[in-house]
Structure 1
Amino acid sequence: MILLTFNIINIEAETKNGLQISDEERLKITEDNVRAILRILDIHDIKASFFVEVSITQKLQNLIKAISYKGHEIAFYNNNSNLQEIEETKKLTQDFLEKQIRGIRQKDFKLSQESLKSLEFNYVSNIDNSNILFPFKRLKRNTEIKEEDGLSIVPESISPYSQLPYNDFIFQILPMKYYQNMVFETLKKDEFVLIYLNSWQFTDFSTYDFKVPLYRKLSSGKKLEDKLDALLVWINEKELATSRMKDYIF
C-alpha cells in the first residue's frame, strides 16, 4: 500500500535583498501550491492525506473544504502549537467540515501521546528533519504501525535496501526511475510505503526570491509537479494500491 501525504505549511525562508513578503502573500503561495497538487491528484484519481499546519488552518478554510470535498483526508501538522490551540483548532475544523480529524503529524515540537489521545486523535505520524546530509545516515528502525496509549503510531518508511527514508528531500533529489525502483522493492518487504512532501517545495523560486539552498531549489516548483505526475502515472500503470492514512489504519 502507498500512503501519499502532503504537509501544508507556509515557507518560512527569508528573502534576498531585503524584499518583504507578507504573511498573506506567503499564505497565497501555499494555497496556489496546494491547488497545483490537487489538480495532479485529480488527473490520476488518487486520494491522499493532507496535514495542515495548525496555526494557518483557520485562514485556509476554503482550501481545506475543497480538499475534503475531493475526497482527501484532512489531518493536522503541529509546528509549535500548544495543546489548547490544537484543541480549539480541531473543534473549529471539525465543525466546518462536519468530519472528525483523526491524525496529527509532528517534527521538532512533540506533544505527549497521552495529550494527543486526550484530544481524541487516533493516530500520530511523526517525521524527522531532512537535509543534505540525511541520505548518508544509515537508519535501522521498526517500520510497522504499533499501538501505544490507545494511539496508532505510524513510523516513517525506510527502504530496506538503500536505507533511504521516503521524506520530502529524498523525493526531490532522487532520479524518478531510482525512486520508483525503491518503492517497488520496499513494497515486496513492507506492508506500506509512507511518502510525504511539503507544499512549499512546489514554490516557483524563480518568481519568489527566497533564501533557499541550491540543493533545495533543484527539482522544485513546476519540476516537482512533473515529478509527482510521473510518480502517479507509474503507480496507476503498475496498479499499485494507494490509501488515505485513516482508511489504511482503521
Structure 2
Amino acid sequence: MILLTFNIISIEAETQKGFEISNEERLQITQSNTRAILRILDIHDIKASFFVEISIIEKLKDLLKAISAQGHEIAFYHQNSSLERVELVKHSIQDVLEKNIRGIRYKNNSFTLQELKQSGFNYVSAIDHADILFPFKRLKKSPEIIEEDGVSIIPESISPYSQLPYNDFVFQVLPMKYYQNMVFETLKKDDFVMIYLDSWQFTDVNKHHFKIPFHRKWNLGKKMEDKLESFLSWINEKEMATSRVKDYIF
C-alpha cells in the first residue's frame, strides 16, 4: 500500500537582496501550490492525506473545504503550537469540515501520547529532519505500526535495501526510475510505504526571488509538478494500491 501525504506549510526561505515578500503573499503561494497538487491528484484519481501546519490552518478554510470535497484526508502538522492551541484549532476546523481530525505529524514532539489521545487524535506520524546530510544516512528502523496509549504510531518509511527514507528531499533529487524501483522493492517486503512531500517544493523560487540552498533548488516548482505527475502515472499503470492514512490505520 502506498500512503501518499503532503505537508502544507508556508515557505520560510528568505528573499534575495532587494526583494521582500509578506506573510500574506507566502500564504497565497502555499494555497497556489496546494491547488496544483490537488489538480494532479484529481487527474490521476488518487486520494492522499494533507498534514496542514497548525499556525496557518485557520487561514486556509476555503482550501481545506476544497481538499475535503475532493475526498482527501486533512490532518495536522505540528511545529511549535501549544497543546491548548492545538485543541482549540482542532475543534474549530472540525466544525468547519464537519469531520474529525484524526492524525497529527511532527518532527520534534512536545506532547505525550496520552495528551494526544485525550485531544482526540488516533494516530501520530513521526518524521525526521531532511537536511543535506540526513536523507542519505543509512538508517534501520522498524517498518511496523505500533500502538501505545490508544494511539497508533506510524514510523517514517525507509527502503530496506538502500536504507533511504521516503522523505521530501529524496523524492526531489532521485531519478524517477530509481525511486520507482525503490518503492516497488520496498513493497515486496513491507506492508506499506508512506511518502511525504512539502507544499513549498512546488514553488517557483526564481519568480518569487527566494534564497534556496543549492542542494534544494533541484526540481522545484513546475519540475516538481511534472515529477509528481510521472510518479502517479506509474502508480496507476502498475495498478498499485493507495490509501489515505486514516483509512489504512482504521
TM-score by length of 2: 0.99
- Once the two structures are superposed, the pairs formed by residues 17-166 of structure 1 within 5 Å of their partners are 17-166=17-166
The one-letter code of the counterpart of 1:173 is: V
Stretch moving more, 170-179 or 134-143: 134-143
1:9 equivalent to 2:9? Answer: yes
The one-letter code of the counterpart of 2:206 is: S
SS of residue paired to 2:126 = coil
> What is the alpha-carbon distance in structure 2 between the residues aligned to residue 170 and residue 111 of structure 1?
28
Compute the displacement of 1:109 (Å): 4.2
1:195 alignment partner in structure 2: 195
The one-letter code of the counterpart of 1:165 is: P
* Paired-residue identity, %: 70
Stretch moving more, 33-42 or 136-145: 136-145
TM-score by length of 1: 0.99
2:211 alignment partner in structure 1: 211
> What is the alpha-carbon distance in structure 2 between the residues aligned to residue 110 and residue 171 of structure 1?
28
> What is the alpha-carbon distance in structure 2 between the residues aligned to residue 108 and residue 148 of structure 1?
18
> What is the alpha-carbon distance in structure 1 between the residues aligned to residue 194 and residue 55 of structure 2?
24
Compute the displacement of 1:18 (Å): 4.2
> What is the alpha-carbon distance in structure 1 between the residues aligned to residue 158 and residue 66 of structure 2?
31
SS of residue paired to 2:194 = strand
Q: Is the contact made by 2:135 and 2:167 (CA closer than 8 Å) also made in structure 1?
A: no
> What is the alpha-carbon distance in structure 1 between the residues aligned to residue 184 and residue 222 of structure 2?
25
Runs of 4+, deviation exceeding 6 Å: none
Stretch moving more, 232-241 or 211-220: 211-220
The one-letter code of the counterpart of 1:44 is: H
Task: Pick closer, same or farther for the CA change 1:110–1:18 going to 2, 3 Å.
Answer: farther
> What is the alpha-carbon distance in structure 2 between the residues aligned to residue 185 and residue 120 of structure 1?
36
User: RMSD of aligned C-alpha atoms?
Assistant: 0.8
The one-letter code of the counterpart of 2:57 is: T
1:169 alignment partner in structure 2: 169
Compute the displacement of 1:215 (Å): 1.5
The one-letter code of the counterpart of 2:88 is: E
The one-letter code of the counterpart of 2:21 is: I
SS of residue paired to 1:76 = strand
The one-letter code of the counterpart of 2:6 is: F
Stretch moving more, 208-217 or 234-243: 208-217
> What is the alpha-carbon distance in structure 1 between the residues aligned to residue 21 and residue 111 of structure 2?
31
Q: Which runs of 5+ in 1 are unaligned?
A: none
> What is the alpha-carbon distance in structure 2 between the residues aligned to residue 170 and residue 97 of structure 1?
33
Stretch moving more, 106-115 or 38-47: 106-115
> What is the alpha-carbon distance in structure 2 between the residues aligned to residue 124 and residue 135 of structure 1?
21
Q: Which runs of 5+ in 2 are unaligned?
A: none
Task: Pick closer, same or farther for the CA change 1:129–1:186 going to 2, 3 Å.
Answer: same
